[in-house]
């Protein structure tokens, strides 16, 4: 029998991984740069999804790392917004 909660949590984990990998690929292929809002937005979403996943599975070091990654991405997004408007 399928546990719907675990299916949702696992799906969020895989989506979170994709939201980390895709922007990293875009950055390395020079399609995006560090100031691209989509780069930071994808990292924030990936961080949120992976933090949920790792907290569910009680992987606290990974949850901390993912949450911190998201905080850095929020900082980067805000910094980009400030630079562009100023």
Which of 84, 1, 77 has the alpha carbon at shortest distance from 39?
Answer: 77
Q: Assess whether pLDDT exceeds 60 at residue 8.
A: yes
> Among all chains, which residue has been given the structure tokens 């949450």?
67
- Identify whether the C-beta of residue 16 lies closer than 8 Å to the C-beta of residue 49: yes
- Mean predicted lDDT score pLDDT of the chain: 94
| pLDDT value of residue 46 | 98
Give ∠ CA 61-64-66 in degrees, rounded to 5: 110
List the domain range (segments joined by +) for residue 26. Answer: 4-85
Terminus-to-terminus CA distance in the chain, angstroms? 56
| pLDDT value of residue 2 | 82
| pLDDT value of residue 20 | 96
Q: Assess whether pLDDT exceeds 90 at residue 83.
A: no
Segment 23-51, tens digit of pLDDT = 999 999 999 999 999 999 999 999 999 99
Give the total number of structural domains in the chain: 1
Please, which residues have CB within 8 angstroms of residue 2's CB and are 6 or more apart in sequence?
none
Please report the sign of the dihedral spanned by the C-alpha atoms of residue 45, residue 48, residue 53, residue 54. Answer: positive
Segment 45-81, tens digit of pLDDT = 999 999 999 999 999 999 999 999 999 999 999 998 7
């Amino acid at each position: 029998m399928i546990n719907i909660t675990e299916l949702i949590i696992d799906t969020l984990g895989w989506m979170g991984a994709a939201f980390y990998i895709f922007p990293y690929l875009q950055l390395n292929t020079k399609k995006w740069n560090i100031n691209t809002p989509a780069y930071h937005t994808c990292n924030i979403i990936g961080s949120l999804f992976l933090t949920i996943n790792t907290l569910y599975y009680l992987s606290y070091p990974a949850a901390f790392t993912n949450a911190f990654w998201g905080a850095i991405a929020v900082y980067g997004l805000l910094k980009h917004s400030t630079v562009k408007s100023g």
